[in-house]
Amino acid sequence: MAEDWDVRTRLVQAEADSEEGAPLNTPLVLSTTFRAQPDGVGFSAEDLGDESPYFYARWSTPTVRTLERRLAELEGGEDALCFASGMAAITGLLLHLLGPGDHLVISDVCYAGAAEFVRGKLRRFGVEVSIVDTSDLAQVRAALRPTTRLVYIETPCNPILKLTDVEAVAALAREAGARLAVDATLATPMGLQPLALGADFVIHSLTKYIGGHGDALGGVVVGRRTDLAALRQDSLIHLGAVLSPFPAWLILRSLPTLPQRMASHAATALEVATFLETHPRVHHVLYPGLESHPQAELARRQLRNTSGMIAFQAKDAPAVARRLAERLKVVKYAVSLGKPHSLIFYLPTEDMQRTSFQHPPELLERYRAWAGDGIFRLSIGLEAPRDLIRDLDQALKP
């Protein structure tokens, strides 16, 4: 592809469309096995080489491979490896990199599934875990040890939209001889390019903005070719949580519209967040694109698109949550994010702490200082800002 093409141009180019009769869209290949040679690829995952032909669908398939190449290109990485879901990408990477005696430093607030997995199962495998507020560089510095193998952050973090300075944490990790993994699902490649800031691995739940249509689960890890070849052999093939060709094909279909969708999500989110900031029933709106975000300077410096996620607190939140679920018409009361539909969900601090986070007192205090007794997580869809604002306004009325 031409080096100087804008990302919008690159995303609509097919892989090999220069021959006469070549399809402009990527074909969907649904085959679980591929013709082999007796002296070709060996039977074990360990025999898999960089240039091996397709062999069995748990190793790799053409449609998924096309998606991997395009996601690597989009992130500015050497290669990418897709998984069946964002969680499969996260657990696959952690189980590959960490073993007994290894030390992990992880953000105190990250995707609930990741927080629960690390706190429970990963510790059971003998991995030492330090859970720290990675938005505070002094905490990261103090947590690093000679045995630290990985620093894991999520920015902006789900659900409270706190940011971590990727460049600064990458420098600290490098000094300590540790790798850095960044879950950038909320930012998307349109907002943040962690590899360019010094990260070793970028993770996305493709289920969210990259898939973007609410009809496919998927996950990806992007990074160096040698790292990902090892991850494929050691983790993906044996854990078996591979992405199937059909969701891969749906996600490929979504890529050309990603820049336009993200521009729309972010512009509408800024309008809705600005409206919520002045609403008498609402207080403490958190949106990285607002000047009032406590890390607005970092957001300006590191996020090229501030995405479509808003978090806010409301007076008498449990009653407001019931009213919103009953009265909202345009916005749907449902979990998840990054869809055409706007979605809202209430996350009480007590519930989040009892189940997902279980923070010790010092971290609990930091969580409460940011999220209060609970936050509404609002994922802005592709609807018109005016309709969303009217819908929220009528539903927030007592």
What is the contact surface with ligand PLP in residues (CB under 6 A)?
Answer: 85-87, 111, 113, 154, 158, 183, 185-186, 205, 207-208, 217, 219
For CA atoms 219, 222, 226, 227, the dihedral sign is negative
How many of the other CB atoms lie within 10 Å of CB of 300? 14
> Smallest distance from the beta carbon of 177 to ligand PLP, in angstroms?
26
Q: Is the CB of 161 or the CB of 320 nearer to ligand PLP?
A: 161
Q: Which residues on adjacent β-strands are paired with residue 130?
A: 105
The two counts, helices (H) then strands (E), for the chain are 17, 12
Q: Is the CB of 212 or the CB of 219 nearer to ligand PLP?
A: 219
Chain-centre distance of CA 373, in angstroms?
A: 25
Phi, psi (5° rounding) for residue 239? -75, -30
> Smallest distance from the beta carbon of 114 to ligand PLP, in angstroms?
6
Q: Is the CB of 95 or the CB of 395 nearer to ligand PLP?
A: 95
How many of the other CB atoms lie within 10 Å of CB of 10? 17
DSSP strand pairing (374-379 vs 343-348)? antiparallel
Pair of tokens at residue 337: 């994010």
Pair of tokens at residue 298: 């970092």
Q: Which residues on adjacent β-strands are paired with residue 180?
A: 151
> Which residue's Cβ lies closest to ligand PLP?
86
> Smallest distance from the beta carbon of 158 to ligand PLP, in angstroms?
4
DSSP strand pairing (148-154 vs 128-132)? unpaired
- DSSP character at residue 244: P
> Smallest distance from the beta carbon of 241 to ligand PLP, in angstroms?
10
Q: Is the CB of 182 or the CB of 320 nearer to ligand PLP?
A: 182
Q: Is the CB of 107 or the CB of 233 nearer to ligand PLP?
A: 107
> Smallest distance from the beta carbon of 203 to ligand PLP, in angstroms?
7
How many of the other CB atoms lie within 10 Å of CB of 65? 17
> Smallest distance from the beta carbon of 81 to ligand PLP, in angstroms?
15
> Smallest distance from the beta carbon of 219 to ligand PLP, in angstroms?
5
Q: Is the CB of 236 or the CB of 282 nearer to ligand PLP?
A: 236
Q: Is the CB of 217 or the CB of 228 nearer to ligand PLP?
A: 217
Containing 286, the helix (H) or strand (E) segment is strand 282-286
> Smallest distance from the beta carbon of 205 to ligand PLP, in angstroms?
3
Please report, for residues 76, 106, 160, 206, 360, the alpha-carbon distance to residue 140 in angstroms, rounded to integers and kept in the order given.
26, 9, 19, 28, 17
Q: Is the CB of 87 or the CB of 199 nearer to ligand PLP?
A: 87
